[in-house]
Amino acid sequence: MKSATQIAADVRSGTSSATAELERTLTVIEQRNAELNVFLYVDVEGARAAAAQIDARVARGEDVGPLAGVPIALKDNLCQVGVPTTCSSKILDGWRPPYNATVIERLLDAGAVAVGKTNLDEFAMGSSTENSAFGPTRNPLDPSRVPGGSSGGSAAAVAADMTAVSLGSDTGGSIRQPAALCGLVGVKPTYGLVSRYGLIAFASSLDQIGPFAKTVADAALVLEVLAGHDARDSTSLPEPAPRLVAHVNDGVAGRRIGLVRELFDGADESVVASVRAAADALRAAGAEVVEVSIPELALTLSAYYLIAPAEASSNLARFDGVRYGLRVSAEDVTAMMEATRTAGFGAEVKRRIMLGTYALSAGYYDAYYGQALKVRTLTIDAFARAYQRVDLLLGATTPSVAFALGAKTADPMTMYLNDVFTIPTNLAGDPALSVPFGTGEAGLPVGVQLLGPGRSEARLFAAARVLEIADGRP
Ligand code: GLN
């Protein structure tokens, strides 16, 4: 399939048209969506109208932007005017947002065509997309396996060649983990680089929106469009979008890269082998790779599963049967809220709300939420110390390749452990990406993770590009 970079170039030059690119996308969706359950909603009419408008503008000689005519899939926790937005939850049944997320506005301004909304774990809580109220998404590389999660639909859209690029959100790994399991590039930007306005909040201090793509250059192209200050998100960094595409081929010569023991220890043998091979490839390209240990990272999974549910329990209080979506009627307002939330939320969401409410309750706040915040501070300091010695860090994205549907649904803890390598950087607020490197069990892709200090995205893309070339994707 054509890259987004190529599609935009073709549409801009008139070699192709937004309409032709969209129709190709719609055809593949038509062929594969019933089997894979990638899209919850395809906005055929809206997308066709948008594509026709792009083509008319190109015909008038206008510059339609860096994503001219690029069809893009959107995780269904991003608000799009008039388009059903569900978070894969029954509780938002029938709700259509009255406004666009900032990221959607920026994509449209850059000439992209929003194709539809993709499946996710309910409210982005999960690692396999099996927690969706609308059934799981299957991995296009092997439909008996999961695509990862929570942004599994957005990953599968790109892996199935439905769209060249898509958007996900990453609170504890939900872009990087499915990217790894589907053989894609997935980026969790620096906290605050991309506006969260219009992203339905899971854990606001951790959530970031980012791209999925088949190539490093495409991921950089999309992130450059998404990034930059937005007054509507109070945590948005007060600065313009960084230049990323221009630095993709900067290489790693002279860079110091830390191979972090805690970020691959315990992973499957094939994953460890890929990480070590990636270290060798970076060395061969002129980087100095040193082994480092950050023992604080051992505490981060526990801290995350207190902080994220605590924030979620507060954020999800707004779904009360009054303002959005589902309402189950009952004798009075309290009974109505209880009945609505009982019927509307799935088991994992309820578990998180209970965990979070407990961790924040008066008698336990210090012992749980307070302790977790201290671990978070230690994590931030530990990364900062590491980045005084090295420019980037390297590890695995996930402990294994894509696993079978149903393999980890019986015990929530086995599912949570999938994110042990991705969670630390969310707590720190630093950027990280996953790039495919090598293969593991059954020939499935392995993702290696590159991490850097805040605002080091250009550096991360340059290192990822080195690995992409070394892995045979020039
Ligand atoms: N899998 C993790 C969780 O369930 C992370 C999810 C995410 O990043 N949205 O919380």
Cβ atoms of 160 and 123 closer than 8 Å: no
Does 172 contact ligand 1 (Cβ within 6 A)? Answer: yes
Angle between helices 44-59 and 18-36 (to 10 degrees): 160
Residue to mutate, 127, 170, 306, ligand 1, most ligand atoms under 8 Å from C-beta: 127
Does 174 contact ligand 1 (Cβ within 6 A)? Answer: yes
Instruction: Classify 4-247 by CATH class.
Output: alpha beta
Tell me the DSSP string of 210-251: EEEESSHHHHHHHHHHHBS--TTSTTS-SSPPPP-GGGTT--
Does 170 contact ligand 1 (Cβ within 6 A)? Answer: yes
**How far apart, in whole angstroms, are the C-alpha atoms of residue 211 and residue 218?**
9
Ligand 1 mean position, distance from CA 458 (Å) = 25
Instruction: Pull the structure tokens for residue 372.
Output: 């977790």
- Is the pTM for the entire model greater than 0.95? yes
The values of phi and psi at residue 34, to 5°, are -65, -40
**How far apart, in whole angstroms, are the C-alpha atoms of residue 221 and residue 42?**
24
pLDDT at position 171:
98
pLDDT at position 370:
97
Instruction: Spell out where 58-120 has E strands.
Output: 71-75, 113-118
- Residue 297's alpha-carbon distances to 2, 107, 260, 413, 455, in angstroms, are 39, 35, 10, 18, 21
Q: What is the pLDDT of residues 252-284, one digit of tens each?
A: 999 999 999 999 999 999 999 999 999 999 999
Does 309 contact ligand 1 (Cβ within 6 A)? Answer: no
**How far apart, in whole angstroms, are the C-alpha atoms of residue 11 and residue 19?**
9
* Residues of the chain under the 70 pLDDT cut: none
Does 202 contact ligand 1 (Cβ within 6 A)? Answer: yes
Sheet order of strands, 71-75 included: 39-42, 113-118, 71-75, 165-170, 208-213, 185-188, 432-439, 445-451, 392-396, 256-260, 288-292
Shortest-distance atom of ligand 1 to CA 423: 5
pLDDT at position 162:
98
Long-range CB pairs of 8-13, under 8 A, 24+ apart, other chains included? 8/66, 8/67, 8/68, 8/69, 8/70, 8/111, 8/221, 10/69, 11/54, 11/55, 11/58, 11/64, 11/68, 11/69, 11/70, 11/111, 12/58, 12/63, 12/64, 12/68
Shortest-distance atom of ligand 1 to CA 203: 9
Residue to mutate, 174, 181, 413, ligand 1, most ligand atoms under 8 Å from C-beta: 174
**How far apart, in whole angstroms, are the C-alpha atoms of residue 458 and residue 242?**
8
Does 124 contact ligand 1 (Cβ within 6 A)? Answer: yes
Ligand 1 mean position, distance from CA 309 (Å) = 10
pLDDT at position 272:
98
Cβ atoms of 432 and 171 closer than 8 Å: no
pLDDT at position 311:
98
Tell me which amino acid residue 284 is: A
Does 424 contact ligand 1 (Cβ within 6 A)? Answer: no
pLDDT at position 16:
98
Residues classed as catalytic: 75, 150, 174
Q: What is the pLDDT of residues 44-71, one digit of tens each?
A: 999 999 999 999 999 999 999 999 999 9
Torsion sign, CA atoms 312, 301, 293, 266: negative
